[in-house]
Amino acid sequence: MADVYLHKIGTASSEMEAAASLKQLLDVELADIDGRVWIVPSIDIHPATGRHDVDLIMIGYLKDYYIDDIAGKCNIDIKSFFATIEIKSHSGVGLKRSGTHLLVKYPDGYEDVTMQSNDQNSSIRRFLSGPLQQESIRVPFISNLIWLRGTDWNDFNEEIGLVDSNILVSDSTAKDFFVAIGRQYSLVDNGYVNAFGKFGTEEAIEYTANIFCAKSNGADTMTLRRINILNTNNNALLDLEKDCSSVIILSGHAGTGKTVMLMQGAINMTKKGYKCLFLTYNRALIADLKHTMRFFGKILPVFDIDSMSSFMIGLMRKAGIWKNTFDIKSDFDQSLAVLMKVKESKDIAPVYDYIFVDEAQDWKTNEAEMLKYYYRDKHIVIADGIDQFMKTSEHTYWGPIALPKLKQCLRQRSNLVSFAKIFASKLGVYWDVDSTRSLPGGKVIITNAYDQNLHERLFHEAVQHGCSAYDLMLLVPNSLTKTGHFDLIDAYNAQGIHLYDGVDSANRDSLYSDVNYKNKECRVYTYESCRGLEAWITVCLRFDELFTEPHPHDYHEIPFSPARQYMLSLWSLIPLTRAVDTLVLGVQKGSTIDTILREIARENPDFVTIEEK
């Protein structure tokens, strides 16, 4: 009996119901046939998220399954197949024919379902042409089907007459599905249907199927969004083999996709057999990246991910400089200075062909020089956030920038991009980022109290978009972290706002686990830990404190007050650019920032609202 895998998505839907019905049909038809079939509903391959692009896909391979008659051709062997299936529930009275196209009726008029089906086919083909597909696996021949689950064969045949087409009805059998797939091939007698061709090994077909199965394995909307962006082809880092530069620089403001593009470059070069390392100083981001990677373990090649400090300490340990009794806050800089002096006599760097460095503008000069020294004969690919500083107030120079600056925001919906630009302009900062038409909408909420009612409403909205608790993130100032944890976590838990405490350094070193998913725990981090992170909804508690209260990045070392305020304004844009769909700003009523935000709300009432308690 063929193994028919139904990938459940955790929510009831017409697509999920159709998928379950198709599985029942296949279980009966393939009871005496060997092979494997994957049925995956509600495929979302669009970076904008919030809606699915393809109702249902059916992928598989079979052994010795023959159909006697397909389009007049006899004894057709169904070897492998890949089909997109558009689902419609209309009855016969809601259908009409226009030439060879089928139209379905909606309250505002008829829609061309044949065109929708063709578009699904094209979308899947483009997606499978992306970087995630292995070079040894060709893009399969994709059949596109239409399944009218509200119409039986008699009504359809009498009303429409589109027989011998790619259209299935409520009383179609599994064999009818394979016949409809076969009609889209150029067949001869004793021929075959083989979507994956001569390269279609069982392993290759399973690999392709697994690309679409992350959602049914628990991946949420944000994780799927990241993998969809990873699989796009518009990345300047896809041709790294052709670039002979020792340092390759990708530059752009927050949200322009630098981190994802670095990941894509690392994935692509690892696939080609190169050994790659991804470095960032932010441990919270490392945990977030690993959280994404674990859902795609069967399809993503593995590259090493480490923090800058951990990597450098590893070098210092090999050189005999770093001792177990050392403290990273008090001993790191001095130990690194020692390593700088003896580096020529210490061949201690692990072997990598490509080093990918995130937020490289904020590395200290000796850190950058050390990396460039040990990997001077290799390739270093960096993401330069231009003026997003956390550790220093001076830009680290890595080399000349050759690639065009990234200007289009790939993270945020268009209204949030507009809000960030407006807020920056109010503070005298030019924010050079453009929105994209593929991410319309978005909203901003300004409040003086983030409470249970607001949280539950936002959480419900996130779930409606296919998100999990992981996709709602709280950011807090250091005034709420004096205990080394989020000080209000018990109070929030008592209100039913369950939190994964990323403020705790021990948690930042671990993955956001399945337990956190089951307990519906949202993430909470300090502002200084948020760079590189993203969430469907981001809540910034006590946002105005970033401009008034002393904290590690208040730039007190800058004596000129206007310059210091300018740096603070730039820094505030980092948390403002974490949200994809909804940004919540908690401020004290009457503060300077509150006044500015209220002014923006008056000017933009269509997407900025004020909720006072």
Domain ranges of the chain: 3-216, 221-384, 414-611
The per-residue pLDDT of the chain, averaged, comes to 82
pLDDT of residue 158: 63
| Model confidence at 140: pLDDT above 50 | yes
Helix residue spans in 389-451 (DSSP H): 414-426
Q: How far is CA 253 from the centre of its chain?
A: 18
pLDDT, tens digit, 9 for 90 and up, residues 434-480: 887 778 899 999 999 898 899 999 998 888 777 888 889 999 998 89
> Would you place residue 48 in the very low, low, confident or very high pLDDT band (cuts 50, 70, 90)?
very low
pLDDT, tens digit, 9 for 90 and up, residues 564-604: 777 778 888 889 999 999 999 999 999 999 999 999 999 99
> Would you place residue 554 in the very low, low, confident or very high pLDDT band (cuts 50, 70, 90)?
low
Phi, then psi, of 125 in degrees rounded to 5 = -65, -45
Strand 522-526 and strand 579-586: the pairing is unpaired
Instruction: Give the 3-state secondary structure of residue 102.
Output: strand
3-state per-residue secondary structure call for 464-484: HCCCCHHHEEEEECHHHCCCC
Roughly what angle, to the nearest 10 degrees, separates helices 414-426 and 592-603?
Answer: 130
Q: In the 8-state DSSP scheme, what is residue 39?
A: E
> Would you place residue 518 in the very low, low, confident or very high pLDDT band (cuts 50, 70, 90)?
low
Instruction: Give the 3-state secondary structure of residue 251.
Output: strand
pLDDT of residue 57: 92
210 touches 59 (CB < 8 A): no
* CATH topology (fold) of 221-384: Rossmann fold (3.40.50)
Domains 221-384 and 414-611 share a fold: yes
CATH architecture designation of domain 414-611? 3-Layer(aba) Sandwich (3.40)
Query: Per this entry, what is the length of the chain?
Result: 613
pLDDT, tens digit, 9 for 90 and up, residues 52-105: 578 899 999 999 999 998 888 899 999 999 999 999 888 777 788 888 888 888
